[in-house]
Amino acid sequence: MISTRKLPAAVGAAAVLWAAAAAAAAQVPPNASPAAQAAPASSSRGGPAPAPRPAATAAPAKAPGAAAPQTPAAKGAVAAQAAKGTAPAQAAPKKGQPAPTPAQGAAAEKGASPAKGTPPAAATPAGRLAPMRQSAVDAYVARNWAGAAAAADAYNAEFDASGLPRAGVDWALVQFIGGHAKFELWKASKDTFKYDFDREVLGAMEASLRIVQDDLFFKHNVLGSAYFERLKATGFKQAGLEDAASWHLLRALLARGEELRAKPETPEERTAFAKYALQYIGRAFEMARHSAAPDVYLVRVREACRLGFGSPYDDRFAQLHQVVGFDGGNVLAGVLWQTGLDEMNTEGSKPDDVLDTFRQAAKATRGPKERAEILRQMSDYASRQDEFDYKLKAVEYGRQAFALDPSNKDVQAQYGTSLHVVSYANFSSGKFQQALEYAKEATGFAWDGDEVAYFDLSRAQANFGDKIAALTNAETAYDKARRKYAPAEAAPFRQNFVAVLRQFGLAQRAAQVEAEDQGGRP
């Protein structure tokens, strides 16, 4: 689209300053800040060295290896400089850089030398408002949120007292500054927040965007974040906030995607963009978990995935694209399942928390096979925990999964394995009755790997003197194992069979079995 403002290109020093600041903040969307709007109309007042642009609240909190955005960020830094009158914005454009627009030139000229015959600047509303606007910009650029909010309030009071219609680029700029600054204050301390969030944060930024639609990525990101955080603070109860949050965050992505398409993008830019897409999806998942309309995220998340493809995170986007279609597009179940999987793979997660998320996912499913799949996952995860209680939980989840989808081989194997683990543990601790019961259950159905169940069963039965059953099952276990494994792997099964044979006085047969091992058996 057509740019409404031509900002000077990056200058080396500013870019370096910006990069340092951005690296420190590590939360900056690669785009120009609202402060950029101050550039064309900046006065000639001097000031300290340029401050970094404010960090965007919407940047990915976990942007791994987030590099400082280069060109657009530097653009923002120059804009910030210009806002303070120290940037080379008023200097003659360098080769290949855009010349100042007429408005810029006029503003610069006016700041340097007021036209003859015009009243002193302070005597007019515009003259009184200009320094107030600048104060708001300065505080904002310095990330002095309280100062920026107060300056915006003062500006608005003066503006309204002047009887001017609430319009104009400057007015819109101050609305955004005030709205964003108050949002930051709210985040810092909700208890002491003294403003009307809906009107003075959301409303102010919305009003600004109606008039000035530049820096769309940055502005929609901040506004979307404000809607999202507000929604979160209300316990995800207001659908209006949810829709607006989703739209503004997605709109920011669309804007950034368009910016990148308009020029040859660097791999770093592409990666950073993909991280924003992932951040949006993360928030979308959070909203979907609490939404009255989770299925709408089928479309929203897939759209964000589509934007993110072509980056180093393609596998992740493909997974997320697929998971929202889980269970016939049951987004809530898919989101919960994926959340559980992510929690499962996050170091330090508490097993109970992970299982609780999976439990919610299972509850949200509609299809029995889908529910069985989540229960199988739960069984697998629980069985890998150290405490014995989790081994028992693994059995229970496996049992439930099997009841829902008995022909699923993965479910069968997980259920059977979990039973084997518990049977084995019980046997090892001398709880032969329990070992017997779990082993019986594990041999109650066919599953890939059930030779271990017959092994467990035969040992347990042998301990109770159940001669025939123990012999039969020990032989079955060995028979299955030797058909399946190499001799070395089948050895424990053979040894068990031999031991049971000897226990019941069948030494000759035991020797025969042992001999089979020497030459093998077809």
Partner 1 sequence: MKTRALMLAAAALAAAVVPAAAATATMGPDAVKAEVATFDDLYRALTTYHILLQGDRATRPVVESALYDVERYVEEIDGRYATDQLFVADKDALDELRLTTAKAHLEAALLDARGVDIESSVSHYEKAVALYGPNIAEWDVRIPRTARPGTLPGAVDAAYEMATVAEVLEDLKNFWSSGVMVRFKIREFQPAQRATLRLERAGGAGNDFARASFDVAAARFAARAAAGAEEIRVALPAGNYRIVSADPSIRPLPFAALAGSAPDAVVLNPNRFSFELSADERCRPELTLNGLPINDVRDVPYGAYRVVAPKGCPERLPNKVVVDQSPNVTVRTEPDRLDYVREGQPIFLFVTTPPGSVFKLKM
Instruction: Pick between residue 303 and residue 405 the one whose CB is nearest to partner 1.
Output: 303
Examine residue 207 and tell whether it contacts partner 1 (CB under 8 A): no
Instruction: Pick between residue 307 and residue 404 the one whose CB is nearest to partner 1.
Output: 307
Examine residue 258 and tell whether it contacts partner 1 (CB under 8 A): yes
Examine residue 369 and tell whether it contacts partner 1 (CB under 8 A): no
Considering the complex, what minimum distance in angstroms separates the CB of residue 213 from partner 1? Answer: 8
Examine residue 261 and tell whether it contacts partner 1 (CB under 8 A): yes
Q: Which of 6, 232, 290, 302 binds partner 1 (CB under 8 A)?
A: 302
Considering the complex, what minimum distance in angstroms separates the CB of residue 292 from partner 1? Answer: 4
Single-letter code of the amino acid located at 376:
R
Q: Which of 64, 117, 191, 292 binds partner 1 (CB under 8 A)?
A: 292
Examine residue 103 and tell whether it contacts partner 1 (CB under 8 A): no
| Residue carrying structure tokens 């959301």 | 202
Q: Where are the alpha helices (DSSP H) in 85-166?
A: 102-112, 125-141, 145-161
- Compute CA 113 distance to the chain's CA centroid, rounded to the nearest angstrom: 52
Q: How far apart are CA 194 and CA 177, in angstroms?
A: 17
Q: Among residue numbers 328 through 347, which ones bind partner 1 (CB under 8 A)?
A: 328-329
Instruction: Pick between residue 7 and residue 19 the one whose CB is nearest to partner 1.
Output: 7
Which DSSP category does 82 fall into? H
Q: How far apart are CA 194 and CA 231, in angstroms?
A: 18
The residue count for binding partner 1 (CB under 8 A) is 24
> Residue 322 in 3-state DSSP?
helix
Instruction: Pick between residue 174 and residue 216 the one whose CB is nearest to partner 1.
Output: 216
Considering the complex, what minimum distance in angstroms separates the CB of residue 369 from partner 1? Answer: 16
Under 8 Å CB-to-CB from 126, ≥6 apart: which residues?
none
Examine residue 295 and tell whether it contacts partner 1 (CB under 8 A): yes
Instruction: Pick between residue 186 and residue 276 the one whose CB is nearest to partner 1.
Output: 276
Considering the complex, what minimum distance in angstroms separates the CB of residue 371 from partner 1? Answer: 18
Q: How far apart are CA 135 and CA 384, in angstroms?
A: 59
Considering the complex, what minimum distance in angstroms separates the CB of residue 303 from partner 1? Answer: 6
List the one residue out of 224, 78, 54 whose CA is nearest residue 148. 54
Candidates 291-299, 440-448, 476-484, 495-503: pick the segment binding partner 1 (CB under 8 A): 291-299
Alpha carbons within 13 A on the beta-carbon side of 424: 12
Q: Which of 291, 338, 339, 414 binds partner 1 (CB under 8 A)?
A: 291
Q: Which of 31, 81, 135, 246 binds partner 1 (CB under 8 A)?
A: 246
Residue count of the chain, please give it.
522
Q: Which two tokens stand for residue 517?
A: 């091992």
Q: How far apart are CA 413 and CA 65, in angstroms?
A: 40
Considering the complex, what minimum distance in angstroms separates the CB of residue 333 from partner 1? Answer: 13
> Residue 317 in 3-state DSSP?
helix
Examine residue 318 and tell whether it contacts partner 1 (CB under 8 A): no
Nearest-5° Cα angle at 340, 334 to 341:
90
List the one residue out of 286, 196, 212 whose CA is nearest residue 249. 286
List the one residue out of 74, 70, 56 whose CA is nearest residue 217. 56
Examine residue 239 and tell whether it contacts partner 1 (CB under 8 A): yes
Considering the complex, what minimum distance in angstroms separates the CB of residue 291 from partner 1? Answer: 8
Q: Which residues contact partner 1 (rule: CB under 8 A)? A: 1-2, 239, 242-243, 246-247, 251, 258, 261-262, 291-293, 295-296, 298-300, 302-303, 325, 328-329
